[in-house]
Amino acid sequence: TVYGRTKENERHIMRATSTTLRFALLLTVANAFLDSYTYLSRGGVFANVQTGNMIFGAMRLSEGRPADAVAHLWPILAFFAGVGLAAHLKSGRVDRYLPHPLRWAMLLQATVLAVIGFLPATVPNSYVTVSISFVAAMQIGLFRTVGDLTYMPVATTGNLMRLVEAGYTGLADHDRTAREASRIYAVLTAFFT
């Protein structure tokens, strides 16, 4: 206990903060920007959403361009590493060695993105997309809820599906909770856009 706070209390505070709508909107806007940036300015590679990389990588292979396909493979591998690290952080195994692992994870992500922001266009695209893929995967692994609702900070398809489902339930069943969920998913989708 430090100043009346226990580790469990600290973990609860971080969990409560990381599940607010404001936090979700911040992550959603940042991730939408990052995917647009890497696709438009860093070689047509998606850093956050790996579906596009799987499709474009397979297309490049089928076109007989394996070197171009590899450009889509590295972000996928970085994504695996980021989700793995997030799972390790959530497991609680790190808590005894590193106090406040969620805070350290956010600091790492912010540092990586700040450094990337200052990199000149001459830096190879793969350095940027791989780094962003890694931190985006950590975000997906660590931050997937707004209150009791599940959402994706890096893509909008699942959020759109949940918007329609909650909207339908809210209208058809006159369910106030579903209408509120629909509103939250609409805001998340708008911020992603």
- Can you tell me which residue has the tokens 């809820």? 145
Per-residue pLDDT reduced to its tens digit, 82-131: 999 999 998 989 888 888 888 888 899 899 989 998 999 999 999 999 99
DSSP class per residue in 110-161:
HHHHHHHHT--TTS-HHHHHHHHHHHHHHHHHH--EETTEE--SS-SHHHHH
Per-residue pLDDT reduced to its tens digit, 61-86: 999 999 999 999 999 999 999 999 99
State the pLDDT at residue 3: 42
Q: What confidence tier does 2 reach under pLDDT thresholds 50, 70, 90? A: very low
State the pLDDT at residue 45: 86
Question: Does residue 14 have a pLDDT over 70?
Answer: no
**The pTM is what?**
0.81
**Average confidence (pLDDT) over 153-176:** 94
Question: Does residue 1 have a pLDDT over 90?
Answer: no
